[in-house]
Amino acid sequence: MPGSNLKLIHFKHLSRFDPLGHFITTRDGGVSSGAYSSLNLGFNTEDEPGNVLKNREILADSLGLQPIQFVFAGQVHEDKVMIVEHIHAGSGFKDVSTAILGTDAMISGATGICLLIQVADCVPVLFYDPVKRVIGIAHAGWRGTVRRIVPATVEMMVSHYGCDPADILAGIGPSIGPCCYEIGDEVIHRVHSMESNSRNYLIEHGKGSKPHFDLWASNRDQLLESGVRQENIEIMEICTKCNSDTFFSSRAGNGTTGRLGGGLWLKDQ
């Protein structure tokens, strides 16, 4: 039965807060098959659109939410942060063309609105300020990381909602890990140009091999530089490529794979 084996994972520190709902999906619990088996949430794949929509409906039902409560980002690997209000409710759920186009991060203080980003090796980063009751989410691949999408998200939470970075909790979810993320010259150059301590994030794996980029450490340090406290940062340290039986991975699937979802919402009180 579709959805009967749905498996979601959660951050320990975010799970302590009753006013907040959050999740990271896995491959389990959907209706898609083959490379997209089974809970593929991405319309921007070669999967049947009807299967993707059904998977999204399964997810919504499991969370006790309606499709109209979701807001999907139209991700482009940039550093734009969108402020989401109730007027945006339902964006992107049934059609990619209605997503919040051209944005890779969203923040909101609106209750009952689930912000969702899609990943398949890129890093999902979730944010929550329990004092101001503000949430945020960012899609941080290598481009988003070197463009500092995570600090941009924190800065927008501060400037628009008056958040104190010291109050913000952040979770770095499953993505391709430093064990597997071999990079080429273009990415190496961009990391060197954007990171003052870039050598901390480029890991050598033996003579003749290309460096591996540590997305987790880079985004963690960007959070720290933004004023988020070390004790408020949780890194799942789950590599999607190493665990491609559980998580979608573009590297493991040679570019043909589904999309995981990371999301969070403020519950109505």
pLDDT band at 1 (very low <50, low <70, confident <90, very high): low
- Look at residue 6 and tell me whether its pLDDT is greater than 80: yes
pLDDT tens-digit profile of 68-82? 999 999 999 999 999
- Look at residue 260 and tell me whether its pLDDT is greater than 70: yes
- H or E segment to which residue 262 belongs: strand 260-266
Do the beta carbons of residue 29 and residue 6 sit within 8 Å?
yes
Q: Does the predicted model carry a pTM greater than 0.85?
A: yes
CATH number of 8-177+215-266: 3.60.140.10
Do the beta carbons of residue 17 and residue 128 sit within 8 Å?
yes
- Greater model confidence, 192 or 37: 37
pLDDT at 195: 61
Cβ neighbours, 10 Å, residue 8: 17
pLDDT band at 3 (very low <50, low <70, confident <90, very high): low
Cα three-residue angle 97-88-128, rounded to 5 degrees: 115
Which amino acid, 183?
I
Q: Taking phi first (over 0 means left), then psi (-120 to 50 degrees means alpha), and beta for anything else, what does residue 83 get?
A: beta
Tell me the residue length of the chain.
269
pLDDT tens-digit profile of 12-65? 999 999 999 999 999 999 999 999 999 999 999 999 999 999 999 999 999 999
pLDDT tens-digit profile of 222-244? 999 999 999 999 999 999 999 99
- Look at residue 159 and tell me whether its pLDDT is greater than 90: yes
pLDDT tens-digit profile of 88-146? 999 999 999 999 999 999 999 999 999 999 999 999 999 999 999 999 999 999 999 99
pLDDT at 2: 65
Domain locations in the chain? Answer: 8-177+215-266
